[in-house]
Amino acid sequence: MGRFKNHKKKNRRTAAKNIKFNILAGVDEVGRGSLVGPVYAAAVILNKSINLKILKDSKTLTKEKREYLFSYIKKNSIWAVGKASVKEIDKINILQASLLAMKRAIKKLKRKPTKVLIDGNKIPNIKNYNLRAIIKGDQKIPSISAASIVAKVSRDIFIKTLAKKNKGYNWEQNYGYGTKQHLKAIKKLGITKHHRRTFSPVSKF
C-alpha cells in the first residue's frame, strides 16, 4: 500500500513538473494577399504576467492600438519574426512561402516551445516540434493573436521603408495590396523589383 501511495505522489510530481515547464507558442503570418514585398510570420511565447484580455486579432484593431500592443507584447514575451522574400514567393508559391516564414520564426525563438499553435489549417514542416493548426486561431488563442500583431506591425514598418524609396504607389497607406490607386500607379509607373511577378494583375505587366 505504501509503495502504491509513493508511486501516486511521484506521478503527481512528474505531472506538475511537466505543467510548469510547458512552453506554448502562437504563430501567425501576414501579407499573403499583398502584391508587394515579403510575407511575414511571427512566433510568440507569452509571459505569465501579460494581460490576455487586451490581445485581439490584429485585423480587428486600429493602427494605434496595434502599435501600442506591438511594444507591449515585445516587452512581455519571447518573440521572433521570420519572412520569405519576393523571389521565394514567386519560386515556391505564396502558401509554401508563408509556411517557410513560419518555420523561420519558430526556429528563431530563444526558447524551444513544447507546443506550437498555428493560425489556419496548414503547418510548416519542422522536425521534433509539436505543431497544431487552429482555424481562426488569431480570434481564439491569445498567443496567436499576439503573433498576428507582431507580424502585422513588423511588416508594415518594412513596407513603409519601401514606400519612401518607391514614390507614387502609395504603399505607406495600402501596404502593397491591390487598391485602385496602387493598380493605377502600376499602369503608369510599371512594376518594381519589390512586386510579386507571379501575382495577378502584376503578371500582366
119 pLDDT exceeds 60? Answer: yes
CATH superfamily of domain region 23-204: Ribonuclease H-like superfamily/Ribonuclease H (3.30.420.10)
- The predicted model gives 92-118 an average pLDDT of 97
11 pLDDT exceeds 60? Answer: no
Domain extents in the chain = 23-204
9 pLDDT exceeds 60? Answer: no
- Please give the Cα distance from 170 to 177 (Å, whole number): 10
Per-residue confidence (pLDDT) for residue 3, from 0 to 100:
52
Q: Which residues contact 96 (CB under 8 A, 6 or more apart)?
A: none
32 pLDDT exceeds 50? Answer: yes
When the pLDDT of each residue in the chain is averaged and rounded to a whole number, the result is 91
Amino acid sitting at position 118: I
Q: Report pTM.
A: 0.87
- The predicted model gives 28-39 an average pLDDT of 97
Residue 115: helix, strand or coil by DSSP? Answer: strand
123 pLDDT exceeds 70? Answer: yes
For the chain, percent of residues with pLDDT exceeding 70: 90
- The predicted model gives 177-190 an average pLDDT of 95
- Closest C-alpha to 106, from 124, 93, 89: 124
Q: Residue 109 — left, alpha, or beta (φ > 0 → left; ψ -120 to 50 → alpha)?
A: beta
For the chain, percent of residues with pLDDT exceeding 90: 85
